[in-house]
Structure 1
Amino acid sequence: MENIILQAENFVLQLFETKLSANNFYHNIDHTKRVVKRITQLAEWEGCNEREKEILELTAWFHDTGYVVTNDGHEEESAKIAEEFLTSNQFSLSDIALVKKLIFVTKKGAVPITKLEKIAKDADCSHLASDDYFEISNLLKKEIVLKNNTPILDLDWLEANKEFFENQQFYTQSALLKWQPYKELNARELDAKILKIKTKQQVKLNNKRTGRGVETMFRTTLKNHIELSAIADTKANILLSVNAIIISVALSSLVPRLDSPSNAFLVWPTLILTVLSVISIVLSVLSTRPNISKITVTKDMIKNKQTNILFFGNFYKMNLKDFEWGIDYLIENEDVLYNSLTKDLYYLGLVLERKYRLLRITYTVFMFGIIISALAFIISYYLFMIN
């Protein structure tokens, strides 16, 4: 075991020294050695046998060797390099397949199933629980910036880190017991750094705002939206009333006379008028029917600007304590407040678009309904008279 591990170490050291790009500030021999150390620890803690320890350590040495060939899809190249090396050292086919499988599980988004897969996955992400996590993270940022030739803002990078923290989990019991507390400490420090940057940005933003002008803009625009919504409801009510009267007249005055042979010509005009009036009523009701959100708003949604609790349809499922917290949060964070008002304007606009689109259809149906009904009456009466 020691012989093959030592050979693998020397092979990877030479490979990285001669072929790895100088831009690999994170995916380099230091990261590989760190993963080797962590995977060895986990293998011991998880009670692995000698063969499993050997497989895991070989996986750690080779899991990032593909970076000497490519950045995207490096796991496939790493597996090829590991296969070539192990084959030349008379490693068994089953063990080579297992090493390749463990390399693939270190890929972002891959979910480990077996004990060895969980150990490999946890070891590769062990830096999240490291005391020098932020120094390591900055090395990865520097590598990405140089390779993509695109700058990354500090806040964007920290928020991307936070997302990774939230999506990544430890799978082995040993990692959960020994590393998870340190990971949570780093997560809290990450939140503190994000908050600090956002606070500075907010101060700058507040200094630039012309408060009264912004408030006037929101007040005027919201007022216009509400007035337009009221006008749309009034139009819908007019159509409802008119069509209800038409149906009432048709049912009370025309329908009772349809059983008389002399009034047979009224059957089709009455039917057409009634059906089109019913359609107009249905469309009018749809244009005014309210739509209440079924999503339960959480504190995280408020913090991440994913909702607007100023609208009753969003906060009605919240308890009073959470709602009061949300309002206080809006008051203390002006950017979130303006974001909520912006969302209010946007969704009011969507509601208005739906109302006026349905009203346009309703008026069209009503207009052509009257015309068609009148024509049907004239034609039916003419045909009745000539017969």
Structure 2
Amino acid sequence: MNDILKETDDFILQLFKEKLPNTFVYHNYTHTKRVYKSINEIIEDSQIDVKDATILRLAALLHDAGYIETREGHEEVSARIAKEFLESKDVAKDTIEGVMKCILATKFTRAPEDKMEEMIKDADSSHFGKDYFEEASDFLRQELKSQDVKKYSPSDWRDENIKVLVEKHQFYSEYALKNWQKQKEENLVDLLKSKKKEKKKLKKEDIKAQLKMKYKDASPDRGIQTFYRTALKNHIKLSDIADTKANILLSVNAIIISVTLANLFSKFDTNPYLVWPTAVFVLSSAVTMILAVIATRPNVTRGEFTKEDVINKSVNLTFFGNFHKMELSEYQWAIEELLKDRDYIYSSMTKDLYFLGKVLDRKYRILRVTYTIFVIGTVLSIFAFGLSFGMADITVEEVTKLVTPEV
């Protein structure tokens, strides 16, 4: 009988090597030898004769041969392959029938009818009661995925294993119940702990996300911060616009004065009627430039504060003009005091907004007057030039000659 076992082992190894697809990472020769080892453990602890032991060993070696043709119903194909092979080796008919019966008993949904079927079923599912259960189980998941049977996520596969261990699988033989059941229960406990841990983690993350969302939507601090951020941004932008407008007026009027002085002053002796319109023109431009400078001129601040100012919360530490003359250590102390008091922070920001608004009000008021003077001065200058040219009875050609630079 040892010869037939050796020949069967060689046969199944060669069969899988030649015909079993590489996607079978679980149901392969390694799994077959694992089942063979498990059935030997059961046989050595059981009181069965040599013939039955040989039947069980042959069934263990041949029970997955049908995977070379099909996954569904592979047990029937395995039984047929086993019959054809054993007949070719002149194995006794009753032994062949026993092997085929045991192979068909490995169907997961089939209940065993006798002790031999119990033994072979326990050997086939022995990995449930082994310490390598997790590794073997993951190989089966990868096999199902690679063959497009079904794709399980790690958590779904864990839940499927829990369901199988609790509801669908059981050991039957005395040896399996005595030696593998305890490890099976430990494997189940590990799965349940993993599920509980993941559930707790997901719940914690969900609570955290809800609190974060609630904080975003309902937190008054967030709304206050948004208000100050937006208001300060708008104030600074308006201040930049005012400075730009003032710079434009400065540049334009500087050009006007330069051109006027260069082209008209040298002609006052021969053209005295140009004096008054030129004076109006230059004067309005000069006033415009002066007001534009005043609008953008920075105010001088004392740049100092006292400890009493900080304690009384009367100094605005967000504006550089209030601390630029202070020592670093004194400023750091003041900021630390500021950060300890939330109300003081908001009060300082409010003061900053208020005084920025006052500065903007001053700038835009002066700019309004500046633009008004610029427009009025320009209009008056045009009328003055027109009136002077009319009184002097000068032609268009002569006007062009007067304002055109000499080469």
Task: Specify the TM-score bucket, using the shorter chain as the normaliser.
Answer: 0.5 to 0.7
Specify the alignment match of 2:83 in structure 1: 83
Query: RMSD of the alignment, in Å?
Result: 1.7
Specify the alignment match of 1:55 in structure 2: 55
Q: Tell me how far 1:211 sits from its aligned partner.
A: 11
Give the 3 Å change call, closer, same or farther, for CA 114–149 of structure 1 in structure 2: closer
Q: What CA distance in whole angstroms lies between the structure 1 residues aligned with 2:148 and 2:206? A: 30
Q: What CA distance in whole angstroms lies between the structure 2 residues aligned with 1:176 and 1:5? A: 27
Question: Secondary structure in 1 aligned to 2:191?
Answer: helix
Residue type at the aligned position of 2:63: H
Q: What CA distance in whole angstroms lies between the structure 1 residues aligned with 2:104 and 2:82? A: 12
2:23 aligned with 1:23, yes or no? Answer: yes
Q: What CA distance in whole angstroms lies between the structure 1 residues aligned with 2:98 and 2:133? A: 30
Q: What CA distance in whole angstroms lies between the structure 2 residues aligned with 1:149 and 1:90? A: 38
Specify the alignment match of 1:34 in structure 2: 34
Specify the alignment match of 2:133 in structure 1: 133
Q: What CA distance in whole angstroms lies between the structure 1 residues aligned with 2:30 and 2:135? A: 13
Cα deviation digits, residues 197-236 of structure 1 (max 9, x gap): 22222223333447999xxxxxxxxxxxxxxxxxxxxxxx
Q: Tell me how far 1:152 sits from its aligned partner.
A: 1.4
Residue type at the aligned position of 2:139: L
Cα deviation digits, residues 102-127 of structure 1 (max 9, x gap): 11111111111211001001000100
> Which runs of 5 or more residues in structure 2 are unaligned?
215-407
Residue type at the aligned position of 1:69: E
Q: What CA distance in whole angstroms lies between the structure 2 residues aligned with 1:77 and 1:207? A: 54
Specify the alignment match of 1:321 in structure 2: none
Q: How does 1:200-349 map to 2 (within 5 A)?
A: 200-209=201-210
2:165 aligned with 1:189, yes or no? Answer: no
Residue type at the aligned position of 1:88: S
Residue type at the aligned position of 1:159: D
Q: What CA distance in whole angstroms lies between the structure 2 residues aligned with 1:96 and 1:13? A: 20
Q: Tell me how far 1:138 sits from its aligned partner.
A: 0.6
Q: How does 1:59-70 map to 2 (within 5 A)?
A: 59-70=59-70
Residue type at the aligned position of 1:190: L
Give the 3 Å change call, closer, same or farther, for CA 150–107 of structure 1 in structure 2: closer
Cα deviation digits, residues 324-347 of structure 1 (max 9, x gap): xxxxxxxxxxxxxxxxxxxxxxxx
Specify the alignment match of 1:153 in structure 2: 153
Q: Tell me how far 1:52 sits from its aligned partner.
A: 0.7
What's the % identity of the aligned pairs?
Answer: 37
Q: What CA distance in whole angstroms lies between the structure 2 residues aligned with 1:27 and 1:149? A: 14
Specify the alignment match of 1:72 in structure 2: 72
Q: What CA distance in whole angstroms lies between the structure 2 residues aligned with 1:157 and 1:108? A: 18
Q: Tell me how far 1:132 sits from its aligned partner.
A: 1.2
Q: How does 1:93-104 map to 2 (within 5 A)?
A: 93-104=93-104
Give the 3 Å change call, closer, same or farther, for CA 158–58 of structure 1 in structure 2: same
Q: What CA distance in whole angstroms lies between the structure 2 residues aligned with 1:138 and 1:125? A: 15
Question: Secondary structure in 2 aligned to 1:148?
Answer: coil
> Which runs of 5 or more residues in structure 1 are unaligned?
214-387
Q: What CA distance in whole angstroms lies between the structure 2 residues aligned with 1:54 and 1:189? A: 36
Q: Tell me how far 1:150 sits from its aligned partner.
A: 4.8
Specify the alignment match of 1:119 in structure 2: 119
Q: What CA distance in whole angstroms lies between the structure 1 residues aligned with 2:197 and 2:211? A: 24
Runs of 4+ in 1 over 6 A off after TM superposition: 210-213
Q: What CA distance in whole angstroms lies between the structure 1 residues aligned with 2:156 and 2:186? A: 20
Specify the alignment match of 1:290 in structure 2: none
Cα deviation digits, residues 31-89 of structure 1 (max 9, x gap): 10000000011012111111011000000000011111111111111111101001111
Q: Tell me how far 1:16 sits from its aligned partner.
A: 0.7
Residue type at the aligned position of 1:171: Y
Question: Secondary structure in 2 aligned to 1:48?
Answer: coil
TM-score with structure 2 setting the length: 0.50
Question: Secondary structure in 1 aligned to 2:147?
Answer: helix
Specify the alignment match of 1:199 in structure 2: 200
Q: What CA distance in whole angstroms lies between the structure 2 residues aligned with 1:8 and 1:173? A: 28
Residue type at the aligned position of 2:195: I
